[in-house]
Chains A and B, each alone.
Chain A
Amino acid sequence: MSENSLIKASDLGRVFDVSKPWLNRVLEGSEKQFLTAADKVHFDIPKGKTFALVGESGSGKSTIGKMVVGLLNPTSGNVTVDGEDLFNPKDKKAQLALRRRIQMIFQSPYASLNPRWRVKNIIAEPIKAFNLLEGKAIQTRASELLEQVGLAATDGEKYPHEFSGGQRQRIAIARALASNPEFIVCDEPTSALDVSVQSQVLNLMKDLQKDLGLTYLFISHDLSVVRFMADQIGVLYLGRLVEIADRDKLFEAPQHPYTRMLIDAAPRVDAFGRTADAVVGEIPDPINMPSGCSFHPRCPLANDRCKTEPPSLIKLDRAEVSCHAVEENRNN
């Protein structure tokens, strides 16, 4: 799956310093504290495909998304786009050329558009920043993009507050498309939208992928949405990938106990009166992570080895799983 991969993240890690200020530390005698938001994350995304990262709060999915678009520098590892290193470009020109190829769609349809700008200017900004077009052609292109996402060209004259949440997300998509990118990171693009509007936006994103050959990194906490969008899925728990699998494989035969729990806990519209099997506990404090496998305090299959030795990803058919129980065949 790597021969025509567009995006390659290898050994990606990010540690945040969450220590109290120096003076407080001295007075309280406390030590520096670090939060590992992402640890040894790796994935390949083939051209034209969608890779999804799914996880609960604190899983590090947004941190990874920010690193992949270059908004945040990793503490370790790197990201390559078509073989070019995103964080150590040859020169300024190469960096700008790389940036043009990567875009992002954000979660909040309210905060992602500058409220003081007209929509046409919001969409035209990337075109101007990368010097893609000049003069009148810029506005023509902006109108074209608006129509491409299902809005009217005349909507460009309006301000963001005149639109509904779903329409704003369409505007955000139009802005992301303005620099003719090949790769778009979608960070929870529909979690703030109502169901009936969510389906419009998801369909639009799928149509655009088909028409323009886009590659997506899709970040979400909603398994149903991920199943609809993704070709391949990575499940994150406390900054580590616990399972990577093709979509069908993940939903038909989830391997990691956490993946199983997530799938089971997701509310289902066809499960009337069902009480999901009680899952124990909550996500632990990411600053003081459990030893060994970080899922072991909640895992029904945990044994002594899980408490001490962190598991690493092992290859299976169409999947990779990081779990001692799977390795030892204790998972059935």
Chain B
Amino acid sequence: MTEETQRGASARPVFKEDEHLPFWKRWMDTDIWHSYKKSPVIIIASIAFMLLILSAIFAPLISPYTPFDPGSLNLMNGFTEPMSKNDFTGDYFFLGTDDQGRDVFSTILFGLRISLFVGLAAVLFAMTLGVILGLISGYLGGWVDGVIMRVADIQMTFPSIMVAMLLYGVGKGLTPPDLRDEMALVVLIISIGLSEWVQFARTVRGATLVEREKEYVQAGHLIGLSKWAIMLRHILPNVTGPILVIATISLALAIIAEATLSFLGVGAPKTEPSLGTLINVGRQFILSGEWWILLFPSLTLLALALSVNLFGDWLRDVLNPKLR
């Protein structure tokens, strides 16, 4: 190279400000972090969500009882009011007990576990499926795109809870009767996942349509890269931006869908009750005055869905205001 360009290279203004800082320090300087610091609602929502996650993970350690172990149950403890003593052990049932004498606080912790697990797994499934289908649809185009998008269109004309119920029914019918209880959660996850993939697929397809026309993709064609190499190595990393946002919002939807199904009695089995199942159980006692059996699981579900939803909305605003 000529001397002049060499000088040019050395004269380039370099931004030292970000480069050599450790990762967390750079993170502290991003718009996301600054926006986070300025929104008390989001701080509370995220703390609430973290607490709920932690209590779900450590449920066996936190919960004072093992509510689904028939051996530890005592029917004599049934319908104990909140903050009253266990007559046998002297402990407190501080959220009361249900009809079978199960500690409501413990059942909520374990129910939360199931709800979160089903929600997260369903979203993960929907995300994987949606991203792959969206990529294929957007990149290949033609009849493949036509088929995938028409299926998506048709699915969108039904409420997703109906789709999930339908799929759940079909799934249950297909599993052998002796495996039904074991497979119940898997079927639930798949049916909720299948009802949520469309949003992912549409978004990824749209982003893929934009990216595939960009010149770096053509540069990939030039060196003879395969379709899959271009889709997975070049396009995928550039269409993931909105996925996180949709995943968060879908998580709230999936948790509510799961709760709805379980409330209707078609979701999580009685042996592994989720928050929805608990609410369903509590519903039976609302008129007879045992309000706590219904109220506390409901509040937990509300806190969970609301915190995830608020967090998702905020994330969308910060990461991609155009999605609004």
Contact = CB atoms under 8 A, between A and B. Distances in A.
Q: Do chains A and B touch in the complex (CB under 8 A)?
A: yes
Contacts of B234: 114
Interface in B1-34: 1-2, 5-6, 8-9, 12, 15
A104 interface: yes
Contacts of A108: 215
Contacts, number: 68
B223 A113 contact: no
Contact of A129 (B1, B214, B223): B223
Given A69-B222, A126-B223, A129-B223, A114 B216 contact: yes
Nearest to B240: A116
Contacts of A106: 215, 218-219
A96 interface: yes
Interface in A85-142: 95-96, 99-100, 102-104, 106-108, 111-117, 125-126, 129-130
A207 B237 contact: no
A27 interface: no
B215 A111 contact: yes
B219 to A, nearest CB: 6
Contacts of B219: 104, 106, 112, 175
B215 A207 contact: no
Contact of A71 (B2, B5, B218, B225): B218
A125 B9 contact: no
Contact of A148 (B1, B223, B225): B1
Contacts of B224: 95-96, 99, 129-130
A331 interface: no
Nearest to B5: A150
B222 A207 contact: no
B221 interface: yes
A287 interface: no
B74 interface: no
Contacts of A262: none
B238 interface: yes
Contact of A150 (B6, B222, B225): B6
Contacts of B214: 111-112
Interface in B225-264: 225, 234, 237-238
Interface in A61-99: 66, 69-71, 95-96, 99
B2 A207 contact: yes
A126 B224 CA distance: 9
A109 to B, nearest CB: 9
Given A95-B224, A116-B238, A207-B1, 9 more contacts: A71-B221, A99-B222, A102-B222, A104-B219, A112-B215, A112-B216, A114-B237, A152-B9, A175-B219
7 contacts: A71-B221, A99-B223, A112-B216, A114-B216, A116-B237, A148-B1, A203-B2
